[in-house]
Structure 1
């Protein structure tokens, strides 16, 4: 492994980005950054301040002022805004249904992209590497990452996973209740980022039929292939 190993992982909602990325970072002993949490934190802050999320300039201004503190320890990926721990609050339905309006704001993306790169560099310097996951990571935020992976899964698998995560069950009612957050979010986000097809140099890993451990091993296999020392 080189002194600083950057691994970028992208993919649609429910593909396993967060769980797999955290586990991979933990296994490799490097930092972890959930860039999606940053958009959620900004959304939470805007909602708390009663900002109109359709006011693109106001939301962009909020992004520049956001007092965000995000942890890059895969065992404790905390998210705080203005000293308030929002790690759980940003996963609420209230934030989940509103985050697309913030995440599709191009000026917001530009502001947070700079912060994401700074956080990735800091984590890599501290631990020797970083696993960063979220939209645009493999193509815009870290196109020069040594390892770039696009996780994908069937819509059925993604809905089932997110339903179990949010509702504790994947029965028909829970899946339907989750559909809007998964399908609409991906549709909205696809207007400003590409995460359904692997760009050149990005390895596609389909997790539809894989459990978490198998998905982690699949990504670690990709990392091993990209970091192997060439034969003399």
Structure 2
């Protein structure tokens, strides 16, 4: 296993955690564009693994089937913020992983601790091999498990009702109550595996409840500038 405390591995991480609807995906992509960094959507990798399990004719509720798939998971994932192709072997699954059947199955993959260990190794490899000075990596446990020694670790959060409203808007004005319930259900499911609602020691919190998109981007950039300045100073 890769040593997660290795300075070489951790130094390229800009680690951003947070719950759904906090803005971490859109903000992370914009940070990558502005800074010339790579961008890694860890959620897409779990979706790709869920797709892989389903394509093998298995059920993501079957932990052994998930573990078997994870041990032979030929993931390829682009790190360009504007060209984030995802492939499993020779199959481009960029669109397929957003299918409702995959969305419904992905929690069965992400909840298995041994699977997360294997997938985290993939994330570390992608970042280590990336042709970028740094990679903005966003997810649930990037600041605490994947890269706990990253020079920049941020928890991007917002009040639950604000996150639900944002997600409903993203989905084209779907029923807000239904979206809120789905979001809260996902929070409960994911928090059984990892605490992504509480900042670990040393992690900077950016609360976007009262911030618009641009203000949130600026707030995150300010933290990055401060932390990298401390490290380089």
TM-score above 0.5? yes
Structure 2 residue runs without a partner (length 5+): 1-10
Q: CA deviation at 1:33?
A: 0.7
3-state SS of paired residue (2:71) = helix
Aligned position for 1:29: 36
Question: Structure 1's 231 and 189: CA in aligned 2 closer, same or farther, altered over 3 A?
Answer: closer
Q: CA deviation at 1:5?
A: 4.0
| Aligned equivalents of 2:144, 2:104: Cα separation in 1 | 25
> Could you give the per-residue CA deviations for residues 35-68 of structure 1, whole angstroms, max 9, x where no partner exists?
1111011111212222121211110110121221
Question: Structure 1's 231 and 47: CA in aligned 2 closer, same or farther, altered over 3 A?
Answer: closer
Aligned position for 1:117: 124
Aligned position for 1:189: 190
Aligned position for 1:137: 142
Structure 1 residue runs without a partner (length 5+): none
| Aligned equivalents of 1:106, 1:60: Cα separation in 2 | 10
| Aligned equivalents of 1:61, 1:140: Cα separation in 2 | 22
Is this contact kept in 2: 1:97–1:181, CA < 8 A? no
Output the TM-score relative to the length of structure 2.
Answer: 0.90
Aligned position for 2:94: 87
Q: Report the number of matched residues.
A: 223
Question: Structure 1's 48 and 164: CA in aligned 2 closer, same or farther, altered over 3 A?
Answer: farther
Q: CA deviation at 1:230?
A: 8.1
Question: Structure 1's 97 and 181: CA in aligned 2 closer, same or farther, altered over 3 A?
Answer: farther
After superposition, the CA RMSD in angstroms is 1.8
Aligned position for 1:211: 212
| Aligned equivalents of 1:230, 1:154: Cα separation in 2 | 31
Aligned position for 2:225: 224
Q: CA deviation at 1:110?
A: 0.9
3-state SS of paired residue (1:97) = helix
Q: Which of 90, 104, 107 matches 1:100?
A: 107
Aligned position for 1:7: 14
> Could you give the per-residue CA deviations for residues 163-199 of structure 1, whole angstroms, max 9, x where no partner exists?
1222x12xxx522232343111111111111110110
